[in-house]
Amino acid sequence: MATEKSKQLLVLTSSTIAFTVCFMIWMMFAVLGIPIQKALDLSETQFGLLAATPVLTGSLVRLPLGMMTDKYGGRIVFFALMIACVVPIFLMSYANAYWQFLVLGLFAGLAGGSFSVGIAYVAKWFEAERQGFAMGVFGAGNAGSALTKMIGPAIIVYGGWQFLPKVYAGIMLIAAIGFWFMSFDKKEHRSASNASFASQLAVLKDPNVWRYSQYYSIVFGGYVALALWMTKYYVNEYGFSLQTAAFLAACFSLPGGVLRALGGWLSDKYSAHTVTWWVLWASFLFLFILSYPQTSFVVQTVDGERAFHIGLNSTIFTILIFLLGIAFAIGKASVFKYLSDEYKDNMGAVSGVVGLAGGLGGFILPIMFGAAVDITGVRSSAFMIMFGVVWVSLVWIYICEVKPKMEEGHQAMLKIKNKS
């Protein structure tokens, strides 16, 4: 019979593997969408909608799935969700019209809701002082985005784009069965088993939940949006092949997933607030540089006209998005450390709300990226949009967290001064 420690390890391992597969499938249009765009002659905005469609349903179901996890337990909800995605993924191989891909993408996108199920399921198996790290390890399943960029192009080259959904459907089925036999259930973890859905939704009245949702809309929503957009960006901006572009795009996706465990450890050690504050500032700096478009201009000098060009080459660009991926990975974990610290009894519902906000960011941003390119013709406009979102988060965290702490410190110093 398995001990408590071995159950913790098996739950964490099986959940992380299952989430990695779900995330790999959730991001499949980052690779699959490129040959589909060529075949159907889609605009940039249409491509953005296609890539983001699975993200929409994966986001909208996060709240109800999180609530169901609190009520019925994570094991059964996670397994049923994965099984439900197998058929629509497989049917993509036979789609030949734009609307068919959109509809099937909506159903396959349910896989993205696995995060709010798994994060609440895993967190309840660990002690408070280890929850940040455990959730970070689980969240490293975001690396499924990098995995799809590594294996997706190879599958397409081998059997054509129609072969990719068939392979992914098989992977999902195997992962679901493996998860069921490696995971466990605990009735006492069903913290809302006797609660009504209305009482679970009471968390929506908490303003802090919306603030954490804003933070997550950039560190996770921005991560999802760029994970969907980066391969295409490399192809169009630097002229790389699909295979090379996908490999380089993984330089953002991989650290953005794997290093989430580091973010959990840092949040356990230094607090969720401290880590999130510095993550937002780092993201602000990286996105400012990435926003600058390729620019050529002519200057009148004493020797006549002289042409200059300012812009990021592919090497510097890749280094910057690698660093941005690290910042987002740490930030995703730190935001959820807030939740595990403050919402122990309704983690599923709260993580569903915050996950929903982050997922909607991942849905809306790629469409905005495509529309911005169609309107302005400037590809770096994607980073300009994200720069603005980070600025909003920085203002909010300063007003609600940094400024009150500074005022408390000032008041404490005044009291000490008055006593002396």
Burial of 329 (0-12, 13-18, 19+ CB in 10 A): buried
User: According to the model, what pLDDT value does residue 192 have?
Assistant: 54
3-state DSSP call for residue 301?
strand
Identify whether 198 is part of a domain.
no
State the pLDDT at residue 200: 60
Token code pair at residue 54: 């699975």
Q: What are phi and psi of 299, to 5 degrees?
A: -115, 135
- Residues 136, 329: Cα–Cα separation, whole Å: 9
Q: Which helix (H) or strand (E) segment is 31 a member of?
A: helix 29-40
% pLDDT > 90, the chain? 26
Rounded Cα distance, 2 and 215, in Å: 39
* 346 found inside a domain: yes
Domain annotation covers residue 199 = no
> Bigger pLDDT: 171 or 237?
171
- Given a contact cutoff of 8 angstroms between Cβ atoms, the answer to whether 371 and 46 are in contact is no
Burial classification of residue 115, based on how many CB atoms lie within 10 Å of its CB (0-12 exposed, 13-18 middle, 19 or more buried): buried
CATH of the domain at 150: 1.20.1250.20
Q: Which of 156-165, 243-252, 258-267 has the lowest mean pLDDT?
A: 258-267
Beta strands in 315-420 (DSSP E): none
pLDDT digits (tens, 9 = 90+) for 176-195: 999 999 988 877 666 555 55
With both helix axes pointing from N to C terminus, report the angle between 242-258 and 221-238 in degrees, rounded to the nearest 10.
Answer: 160
To 5 degrees, how large is the angle CA 173–CA 176–CA 182? Answer: 140
Domain count within the chain:
1
Q: Is residue 232 part of a domain?
A: yes
pLDDT in tens, 354-397: 878 888 888 888 888 888 888 888 888 999 999 998 999 899 88
Comparing 153 with 264, the larger pLDDT belongs to 153
pLDDT of residue 175: 95
Distance of alpha carbon 256 from alpha carbon 27, whole angstroms? 14
* Res 40 pLDDT > 60: yes
pLDDT for position 129 = 73
CA angle 256, 259, 260 (to 5 degrees): 85
Residue 154 lies in a domain: yes
Per-residue pLDDT, 302 = 81
- Could you tell me the two tokens for 334? 């730190």
pTM for this one?
0.73
For 4-33, write each residue's pLDDT tens digit: 788 888 989 999 999 999 989 988 888 898
Each residue of 97-135: pLDDT tens digit?
A: 999 999 999 999 999 888 888 888 888 888 777 777 787
Q: What pLDDT was estimated at residue 385?
A: 93
Task: Write out the two tokens for 274.
Answer: 């401290």
Cβ neighbours for 305, distance < 8 A, ≥ 6 positions apart: 298, 299
pLDDT mean across residues, the chain: 85
Which residues constitute the domain of residue 144? 4-188+204-419
Are 15 and 122 within 8 A, CB to CB?
yes
Instruction: Judge whether 225 lies within some domain.
Output: yes
